[in-house]
Structure 1
Amino acid sequence: MRSLSPYDVNVSSQGRPVTPGAGYGTAQGADWFGPLNPIQPIAPPEVAGRVWDFIPGYNLATTPRTYEEISFPALRNLADSYDPMRLVIERRKDQMCRLPWTIRVKHEDSSKKKRPPISELPAAQQNRIKEITRFFKRPDREMTFRSWLRAILEDLLVIDAPSIFCERNRGGGLIGLRYVDGGTIKRVIDDWGRTPEPIPFTGQDFTWNGDTITLENHRTFGFRLVPGSMIAHQTPIGMKPPKFAMLPPAYQQVLKGLPAVNYTTADLIYRPLNLRPNRVYGYSPVEQVVMTVSIALRRSLAQLEYFREGNQPDAVYSLPAEWTPDQTARFQQYWDDLFSGNLANRRRMKFIPTGSGNAYTPLKEPPLKNEFDEWLVRIVCFAFSYPPAAFVSLSNRSIAEQHEKQAEEEGIEPMKQWVTETLNDVLMREFSDDDLEFAWAEEQEIDPEKQSTILRGYAEDGILTINQVREKIGEEPDPNPAASQLMVKTATGYVNIDNGQLDQKVTEAKAMAQAVPQPTAPEPGSTKTPSTSPPSTKVGAKAPPKKDK
């Protein structure tokens, strides 16, 4: 056999031209052993825009979160089992439900500095605001707004699957918003992995997943015929909404392990707060700390077993070595009968024969709380943007207050915006009110001393009138006309800036400044300091005595 070596191979740069990417050995130039062309796509062009690579037949699964790592019941059990996390969840709901809210006119006119009060609105608009406010005071016609909101926030914080069923009358009008257990709702996706979009309906039959949908059988397949105004927010820019639209099934409610009801986007408001591109369901704060909560639960169980099944007494007492076990047991019984109470036997001192003489030995209990417990609680509080000051020890009070204020703002604001956007969509879609909005009443918690200093500065600098300051602190306006005028505080008192008094005061101040004599420069070679005041000319003043040279 003939062996080949590099010296036996002739390499030539002269070769036949080849197309780029044709092969490693035949390529020329920079394409020699290059990356080559990619494999041609095999999917149809219509697949473009698919959100994520879902499993084929995804909609055939009957259980919600079938392809997720953690189920809805598991998330609920974690939230209910770990006491600190449950307390944080309830505290967050308390903070949201105590906020005042209102239905008001949108203020988009930049030429107007202030929002017009409700008393200046047309009578029809005032009545409309009152009707919508009355509706939201009891959204489900049973619970108050705060009780209703607490149930919605429970699913938002625990499983991130808040679901609201739109209850309607025979004419299709909205008469109630009823919360539904989000753990029973399974999402339905279209060919692109998104929520199925509305289909403009002109009366003609159309095909949906191989089935022919008609006006007669659309309800059988879970469709709903709605006016085009309900999908105006989904209409492309520049296009008018259709007269009618068909809404395909977007959600299924699973009851008893079986698909029970189909819901369209007009039947169910499903609003996760924290969606991810590669997942269909939301990512709740509870799911973010599953590992941390699992560790904390096992540690809590260990502490529980220490108190429930522990066998370590508070102390032991040494007895003479020659005592028999029977004597020790009888003396133990005698001691327990003498000092018996309501404490468990393991809390009593025990007698043991050691032979080392009579000796009392107290036993120290192991630490049941340390820095690791605080670390677990800190992680849970951080997931909910809640201050951990109630569970851990901080360096000082000012730092604790600062953390509490910062955490409250960071944790409350996203939920406030979520509630506002959700209810404003209801206003726009169901009530066709583009000029009204749901809003939270602003709350400014200011230190009274700081507020007094700020408002006093505004009044003294002529930024606010005295009556405007009184209005901000809830006082009635002063009938004195001067209290409704802008004034500036000077050395001689308040001066009205609407007339010439301020200019006159400024002129007088300049004249007084010019009347003051300027300091005279000392003569060359003199060591005297310049004098800014004239010599004394008092009557009867004696001249200073002359000194002899």
Structure 2
Amino acid sequence: MNPNFRKPSLLQRLAEWAGNRTAQAIWAGRLRHAPDRATAAYAKLVSIGGKNYNRNQPMIKPTPANLRRFAKTPYARRAINRIKAPVAALGWEVGVKKGVEETAEHRRQIEIVKRCFERPNNDDSFRTMIEQVTEDLLVCGAGAIEQELGGKEIRPLWMWPVDALSIDIYIGWSGAKNEARYSQSIGPGNVASTRGIPLLNDQLIYIRKDPTSSDPFGTGPLEVAFSTINRLLATADYAGNVAGNSQPANMIQFKGMDQVSLDRFREWWRNEVEGQGTTPLIGGDEAKVHPLRGTTDDALYLKYQEFLIREIATAFELSPGSLGVEADVNRNTAEVADEREWSAAIIPMASNIASYLNREAIEGKLGFSQIEFRWLGVDRDDESLQAEIHKSYYEMNALTPNEIREKLGRKPSLSQWADLCAADVEIAKVAARGVARDVDKDLQPDDKPSKQPSIEKPDEPGTRGRSGVKRPRGD
């Protein structure tokens, strides 16, 4: 036996057995001996107004106070639901990563993750949790999930959705596990450094949308469309006042009328003619009617409102038709717009959430590095084209029906034919025909059609029949 041989430690054996990248990194000393960074993270935020920022104080995201209220306006709510609902309705699964052969240990880990995700806490299902996270991603550019380990071996991970606007970030976080990276502020307008709840990096999954190197926060579509929604609300309020006749359309000028006469005429007009509102009355040298505003639909600024709605749709990467602007929309353009929305808005949102769940929850918190969370049906292709492709694969004996169903995200069929390729099915059909012909001698093979009895046609008038006698023509 080699005297220099050293028995592998428990951590080394664990790394070789489970493939845990975190354990391997600790064993190799990469976490302790990581190189120091030469550049500064968020360099423009470190010094604000010539004064260095306190690294012990979390940074608060400068967010408008009425951002949540804007999310409840009609067009903003429609845009949010257009993305949130499809993401929350997606099916999902947990399986081994590509290139990893599934073992009994992997199946145990998969079952644990499924149980944790199906019921993340006592109040939420996976769908309700994803709905809240997606809402915050669209509103304020970030989604937050608190994660803690419990005592149950079969369900160790617990997760709760957190208001992302209440989370402040320490931009000077060193990366240490026992150092707080986040802080949750308590109460409206509170600074987290005084009454905040400190949170470690592995306690909170902070999902960012459209991250940049300039700040630790994300950017949500509603933040992008904030000014546009503000202008739309102001324009709609003005149009409502005009349509409700609360603002007079004309101003009347009388010739040679003094103030006393004007007051009497105004009182008569209000009581006998107008009933509601006030029409301006002024004196002058002649009687005129001065229009104060337009009397057509142009006075409601409908085209400008449509332009603002298109801006909101652009901010959410949606087509204007999704927000009710249906001019020049037909079946072809609607299908193209739907596919574009799916690729530009829904797939990136779903992929972003899945990547954080895999990295922070499954690998970071549970330590399972060889399994992953996957959405089902997120890669939506042309159904007719996909059907032709699957048909070709089946006819080439490359896929069985159950393998095709697996690619479509459906459960396997229980039919005995679903696990056979096309050639096997044809062989079985030929064998079945042979057995049937052995049982029933009257059956004919498919390649030899049965002879049909010939039917003699009657001789036409004016022609010679089979006897050679010419048949007379009818009158």
TM-score, structure 2 as length reference: 0.62
Contact 2:397–2:421 (CA under 8 A) maintained in structure 1: no
User: Does 2:91 align with 1:91?
Assistant: no
Relative to structure 1, the CA distance from residue 399 to residue 49 in structure 2 (aligned partners, 3 Å threshold; closer, same or farther) is same
Secondary structure of 2:196 counterpart = strand
Distance in 2 (alpha carbons) for counterparts of 1:481 and 1:182: 48
| Equivalent position SS for 2:132 | helix
CA 1:410 to 1:171, structure 2 compared with 1: closer, same or farther past 3 Å?
same
Displacement after TM superposition at 1:452 (Å): 5.2
Q: CA deviation at 1:93?
A: 0.9
The reply to whether residue 429 of structure 1 matches residue 364 of structure 2 is yes
Which letter does structure 2 place at the counterpart of 1:73?
A: A
Select the residue among 192, 205, 219 that pairs with 1:269. 205
Q: Does 1:155 align with 2:146?
A: no
Structure 2: stretches of 5+ with no match in the other structure: 1-35, 250-260, 278-286, 288-294, 431-475
Equivalences for residues 4-43 of structure 1 within 5 A: none
1:337-386: CA deviations, max 9, x gaps? xxxxxxx968xxxxxxxx9xxxxxxx645453533322222222222222
Distance verdict in 2 for CA 1:469–1:90, change over 3 Å:
closer
Q: Distance in 1 between matches of 2:305 and 2:358?
A: 42
1:146 aligns with: 127
| Deviation for aligned residue 1:162 | 1.8
1:162-177 equivalent positions in 2, closer than 5 A: 162-169=143-150, 174-177=156-159
Q: For 2:93 and 2:39, how far apart are their aligned partners in 1?
A: 40
Partner secondary structure for residue 86 of structure 2: helix
Give, in whole Å, the separation in 2 of the partners of 1:150 and 1:457. Answer: 39
What 5-or-longer segments of structure 1 have no aligned partner? 1-45, 199-245, 314-323, 337-343, 347-354, 356-362, 489-493, 496-549
Provide the secondary structure at the position in 2 that maps to 1:49.
coil
Deviates more, 1:148-157 or 1:49-58: 49-58
Contact 1:62–1:259 (8 Å) recurs in 2: no
Q: 2:354 matched to 1:420? A: yes
- Superposition deviation, residue 286 in structure 1: 2.0
- Cα drift, residue 476 of structure 1: 6.1
> Does residue 1:73 correspond to 2:65, yes or no?
yes
User: What CA distance in whole angstroms lies between the structure 1 residues aligned with 2:424 and 2:248?
Assistant: 78
Superposed CA offset, 1:461-502 (max 9, x none)? 5655688779979866565999641799xxxxx99xxxxxxx
Structure 1 residues 179 and 463: alpha-carbon distance in aligned structure 2, compared to 1, 3 A threshold:
closer
AA at the equivalent of 1:260 = G
Identity score, percent: 20
- Among 183, 188, 194, the alignment partner of 2:165 is 183
In terms of Rg, which structure is larger?
Answer: 1
CA distance in 2, matches of 1:83, 1:467: 45
1:98-148 superposed Cα distances (whole Å, 9 cap, x missing partner): 000111111225xx8xxx6xxxx53x5434322321110121232111111
For residue 374 of structure 1, what is the aligned residue in structure 2?
306
CA contact (8 A) 1:185 1:252 kept: yes
Equivalent AA in structure 2 for residue 50 of structure 1: A
Contact 1:157 1:284 in 2 (8 A): yes
Aligned-partner residue type, residue 310 of structure 2: R
Q: Kindly indicate whether the alpha-carbon contact (under 8 Å) linking 2:157 and 2:366 is maintained by their aligned counterparts in 1.
A: no
What does residue range 188-207 of structure 1 map to in structure 2 within 5 Å?
188-190=170-172, 195-198=173-176
Task: Return the alpha-carbon distance in structure 2 between the equivalents of residues 466 and 103 of structure 1.
Answer: 22
For the residues of structure 1 that align with 2:145 and 2:420, how far apart are their CA atoms?
55
**Matches of 2:90 and 2:158, distance apart in 1:** 22
CA distance in 2, matches of 1:134, 1:469: 27
Per the alignment, residue 336 of structure 2 pairs with 402
Structure 1 residues 151 and 57: alpha-carbon distance in aligned structure 2, compared to 1, 3 A threshold: same
Task: Please give the per-residue CA displacement for 1:499-547, whole angstroms capped at 9, x wherever unaligned.
Answer: xxxxxxxxxxxxxxxxxxxxxxxxxxxxxxxxxxxxxxxxxxxxxxxxx
User: Structure 2: how far apart are the matches of 1:281 and 1:393?
Assistant: 35
Q: What corresponds to 1:310 in structure 2?
A: 246
Between Structure 1 and Structure 2, how many residues are aligned?
353
Give the Cα separation in 1 of the matches to 2:212 and 2:405: 50
**Offset at 1:57?**
2.9
- Quote the Cα distance in structure 1 between the aligned partners of 2:313 and 2:78: 10
Matched residue, 1:132: 113
- Which residue matches 1:252? 183
How far apart, in 2, do the equivalents of 1:269 and 1:479 lie? 46
CA apart distance, 1:168? 3.9
Other-structure match for 1:512: none
Pair 1:142–1:49, CA change in 2 (3 A)? same
User: Does 2:374 correspond to 1:439?
Assistant: yes
Residue pairs, 1:207-356, within 5 angstroms: 246-256=177-187, 257=190, 258-308=194-244, 310-311=246-247
RMSD over aligned CA atoms reads 4.3
Contact 2:142 2:219 in 1 (8 A): no
Report the 3-state secondary structure (helix = DSSP H, G, I; strand = E; otherwise coil) of the residue aligned with 1:179: strand
Contact kept in structure 2, 1:459 and 1:487, CA below 8 Å: no
SS in 2 for 1:104: strand
Q: In 2, distance between residues paired with 1:365 and 1:446? A: 43
Cα displacement string for residues 200-258 of structure 1 (whole angstroms, at most 9, x for unaligned residues): xxxxxxxxxxxxxxxxxxxxxxxxxxxxxxxxxxxxxxxxxxxxxx5212122222424
The one-letter code matched in structure 2 to 1:296 is L
Q: d(CA) in 2 for partners of 1:464 and 1:329?
A: 88
Check conservation: 1:385, 1:407, Cα contact below 8 A.
yes
The structural deviation recorded for 1:395 is 2.7
Higher relative contact order (CA 8 A, sep 6+): 2
SS in 2 for 1:400: helix
Alpha carbons 2:398, 2:421 under 8 Å: kept: no
> In 2 relative to 1, CA 476–179 (structure 1 residues): closer, same or farther, beyond 3 Å?
closer
Instruction: Name the residue aligned to 2:324.
Output: 391
CA 1:478–1:364: 2 relative to 1, 3 Å: same
Deviations 1:136-194 (A, max 9, x none): 0121232111111111112211112322222344899954111222222211122xxxx
3-state secondary structure, aligned to 1:146: helix
Deviations, residues 421-447 of structure 1 (Å, cap 9, x unaligned): 111121112222122111111356566
Question: Structure 2 vs 1, CA of residues 178 and 330 (structure 1 numbering), >3 Å: closer, same or farther?
Answer: same
SS at match of 1:485: helix
What CA distance in whole angstroms lies between the structure 1 residues aligned with 2:419 and 2:141? 57
Deviation of the 1:407 alpha carbon: 1.6
Give the alignment of 1:473-512 within 5 angstroms. 477=415, 484-485=422-423
Give the drift of 1:280. 2.8
What secondary structure does 2:318 align onto?
coil
Farther-moved stretch of structure 1 (92-101 vs 126-135): 126-135
Asked if the contact 1:459–1:465 (Cα under 8 Å) also holds between the matched residues in 2, the reply is: yes
CA drift at 1:309: 5.7
Report the AA paired with residue 421 of structure 1: S
Distance 1:142 1:293, change over 3 A: same
